[in-house]
Structures are given as structure tokens and as C-alpha cells.
């Protein structure tokens, strides 16, 4: 049973958008599959319909931002969280005679048709987190996009990082890569990653035993002291083993509250809508060539198989 919480106000448009065959409001009618050999650049984890349909399900575009109760087909107070990296997934990795401890850096392939989950790579080399275990489930919010043409006033003059909004889920459950879970939004941290704004939303699984006691960011510090500072320090230092400097943070390194977090999510949901409708690409004339390339890469590759959407497709808070 889900913890009780006040509903996030939604417009009438959400009920109409849920009727699209390609929209999935929860994990209930989806299963996970994979293809390619694990530990290679060809390995992909994908969501498929349990009915056996061959149409690819995009974990970025085809999953609603607002969680929908599969029993009633009605919106809930929670958002959908797509897990990319499970907590405590650090493993001994081997290559030839060499062995080392690392966490595979899985992420949604935003520039590929279908948006399957892959292990990130750089110049053909698979990427890993060499720092110690991640103690939270890490992933993103579907139907959000951190717009690289937008500079948030609290982001130290940095633009968006061109990805869905990141999520740190702090519940006890280990969530599988590709699994979709309903979560309560608690707060947000503004990380500055190599000159880009990279927001980290703090959430908890709606079915977690701590969920009834956590309704805002102050509740986390009160009931789970040390959790927030540990999250911030993990993100500050995780690139140091690769020879890079520590990350920095905006807003005096503070975790902002639930209200602030929901405003950021709302902005990024609207940015996603501008991306998938083509509005963003049509407004690129004043942007530099680097940013134009980022946006057009997304617009031209992973949107080719999306059905037309009306103006009410995106959920509204």
C-alpha cells in the first residue's frame, strides 16, 4: 500500500494524454528484455509490452512523468522513476589478467531510436564509476529534459546538461536497471558538472517503509541524518579516481525543498515538450553551433518513430 500524500495538482489534459496506446503510466504492463553481449558496447536493456508487441518502448518518451495507478487508471500523487543504476551494484570487473572494483554507468541512450538503456562509453571504452558503491538507486524522470539552451538563474550561469533530470532514490529496496517505480519527490541539489547544470532530485519509493515519514527535504535530515551530506559528497568526489577535480554545487550547496524541486521538474517537463514537438529546434537561430548540434542530434535520431502528439501530451502540474 502506498503512503498517503496530497496530490500534485494536474490539468485535465493528463487524462486525455493517458489514452495514447504508447503511454505507460507504470511498470504494470511492461517487462524488461536485453540484447547484445553484456560488457560490450552493443549491450542494451529495453522495455517491452507484456502483450508481445514488437514496438519499442522508450523509457524516456513513452512513460508518463506522473505515475498512474494500474488498478484505477488514474493519476497518483507520485512521479515515475526509471532506474538506470541500482544501489550497491559495484562489482569486480575483469579484463584479461586485470581486475578492479567499479559500478557500471548505465544510462538511457537519448540519441538512439527507442532510447534503450546502455552502458555509457567514451571513444569506444565502456564507462564505470570507480568510486565506492552508490548507496542510492540512480536514474531519471521520464518526459523531462535539461535544456542546453536554458540558463537557470540559480545555476551559476550554467546551461542544462541535455539529459533527462537525474534522480537519487533513497529507499531500502534495490531497484533493477530499467525498472519503473512510483516515488515521492523530497528535494533537489544543483550540481555543476564541467560547466553544465545537472540537477539531482531526491526521492523515496512510495512503498518504502520510510515514505510515510518523509514529505519534504527537512524530514530526510530529521529521520535519516547524514543521508543528504553523503549524497552531496558522493557527487563531489566521484570523478576524482579518474583524475578530474571535485564537482561543485550551486545554491550554496544546499538541498532545496520539495516545492523548489517540483518547479525545476515542471520547467524540464515543458522543455521536453518543446523538444518532442519540434518547437525547440525551430527556435535555435540564436544558439551557438555546439548547442544546435546537441538539440538536433536528439530531434533527428530518437524521435523518428514517435506518433504525432497534440499540445496536451505533456503532463501538467
- C-alpha angle 292-298-299 in degrees, rounded to nearest 5: 80
pLDDT in 10s for each residue of the chain, 317 residues: 555 544 444 333 333 333 345 689 999 999 999 999 988 999 999 999 988 776 778 999 999 999 999 999 999 999 999 999 999 887 655 555 554 567 888 899 998 888 999 998 887 888 887 887 899 999 999 999 999 999 999 999 999 999 999 999 999 999 999 999 999 999 999 999 999 999 999 999 999 999 999 999 999 999 999 999 999 999 999 999 889 999 999 999 999 999 999 999 999 999 999 988 888 877 777 677 766 666 666 644 444 444 444 333 434 45
pLDDT tens digits, 90-115: 765 555 555 456 788 889 999 888 89
Q: 198 burial class (0-12, 13-18, 19+ CB within 10 angstroms)?
A: buried
In a domain, residue 8? The reply is no
At 294 the pLDDT is: 66
In a domain, 32, yes or no: yes
H or E segment to which residue 305 belongs: none
Q: Of 107, 109, 144, give the one whose Cα is nearest residue 261.
A: 144
Assess if residue 117 is contained within a domain.
Answer: yes
Q: Phi, psi at residue 249, to the nearest 5°?
A: -135, 150
Evaluate whether residue 165 is within a structural domain: yes
The closest of 256, 186, 253, 262 to 224, measured between CA atoms, is 186
Q: In what order do the strands lie in the sheet with 98-104?
A: 91-95, 98-104, 128-129
Helix, coil or strand: residue 316: coil
Q: How many domains does the chain have?
A: 1
In this structure, is residue 2 part of a structural domain? no
Burial profile 91-120: b = 16 or more Cβ within 10 angstroms, e = fewer: eebeeeeeeeebbbbbbbbbeeebbbbbbe
How high is the pLDDT of residue 283?
A: 75
231 in a domain, yes or no?
Answer: yes
Contacts within 8 Å (CB) and 24+ apart, 223-226: 224/170
Grouping H, G, I as helix, E, B as strand and the rest as coil, residue 123 is: coil
Task: Give me the numbers of helices (H) and strands (E) for the chain, helices first please.
Answer: 6, 17
Q: What is the pLDDT of residue 123?
A: 77
In a domain, 313, yes or no: no
Q: Name the phi and psi angles at 260, rounded to 5.
A: -60, -45
Cα distance between residue 77 and residue 195, in whole Å: 34
CA distances from 132 to 82, 135, 176, 238 (A): 22, 9, 19, 8
Q: What is the DSSP letter of 139?
A: E
For cell 548540434, what's the residue?
293
Quick one: CA dihedral 232, 196, 45, 38, positive or negative? negative
Beta pairing, strands 117-119 & 106-108: antiparallel
Indicate whether 263 belongs to any domain.
yes
Residue range(s) defining the domain that contains residue 169? 13-301
Q: What's the CATH code of the domain at 279?
A: 3.90.80.10
The continuous run of DSSP H or E covering 77 comes out as strand 74-85
Query: Residues 138, 83: contact at Cβ < 8 Å?
Result: yes
Span 274-306, pLDDT tens digits: 988 888 877 777 677 766 666 666 644 444 444
d(CA 129, CA 276) in angstroms, rounded, equals 31
Phi, psi (rounded to 5 degrees) for 235: -70, -30
Amino acid at each position: 500500500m502506498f503512503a498517503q500524500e496530497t496530490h500534485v495538482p494536474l490539468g485535465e489534459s493528463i487524462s486525455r494524454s493517458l489514452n495514447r496506446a504508447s503511454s505507460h503510466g507504470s511498470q504494470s504492463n511492461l517487462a524488461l528484455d536485453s540484447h547484445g553481449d553484456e560488457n560490450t558496447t552493443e549491450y542494451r536493456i529495453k522495455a517491452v509490452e507484456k502483450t508481445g508487441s514488437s514496438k519499442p518502448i522508450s523509457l524516456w518518451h513513452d512513460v508518463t512523468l506522473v505515475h498512474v495507478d494500474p488498478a484505477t487508471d488514474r493519476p497518483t500523487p507520485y512521479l515515475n522513476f526509471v532506474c538506470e543504476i541500482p544501489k550497491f551494484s559495484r562489482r569486480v570487473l575483469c579484463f584479461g589478467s586485470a581486475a578492479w572494483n567499479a559500478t557500471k554507468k548505465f544510462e538511457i541512450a537519448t540519441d538512439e531510436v527507442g532510447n534503450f538503456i546502455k552502458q555509457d562509453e567514451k571513444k569506444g571504452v565502456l564507462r564505470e564509476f570507480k568510486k565506492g558503491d552508490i548507496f542510492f538507486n540512480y536514474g531519471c524522470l521520464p518526459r523531462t529534459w535539461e535544456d542546453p539552451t536554458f540558463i537557470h538563474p540559480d545555476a551559476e550561469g550554467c546551461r542544462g546538461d541535455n539529459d533527462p533530470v537525474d534522480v537519487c532514490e533513497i529507499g531500502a529496496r534495490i531497484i533493477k536497471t530499467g525498472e519503473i517505480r512510483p516515488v515521492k519527490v523530497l528535494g533537489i541539489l544543483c550540481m555543476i558538472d564541467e560547466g553544465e547544470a545537472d540537477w539531482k532530485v531526491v526521492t523515496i519509493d512510495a512503498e518504502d517503509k520510510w515514505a510515510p515519514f518523509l514529505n519534504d527535504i527537512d524530514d530526510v535530515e530529521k529521520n535519516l541524518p547524514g543521508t543528504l551530506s553523503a549524497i552531496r559528497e558522493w557527487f563531489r568526489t566521484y570523478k576524482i579516481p579518474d583524475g578530474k577535480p571535485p564537482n561543485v554545487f550551486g545554491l550554496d550547496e544546499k538541498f532545496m525543498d520539495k516545492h523548489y524541486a517540483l518547479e525545476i521538474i515542471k520547467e524540464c517537463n515543458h522543455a521536453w515538450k518543446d523538444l518532442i514537438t519540434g518547437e525547440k529546434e525551430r527556435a535555435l537561430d540564436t544558439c551557438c553551433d555546439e548547442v544546435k548540434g546537441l538539440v538536433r542530434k536528439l530531434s533527428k535520431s530518437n524521435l523518428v518513430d514517435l506518433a504525432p502528439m497534440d499540445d496536451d501530451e505533456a503532463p501538467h502540474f
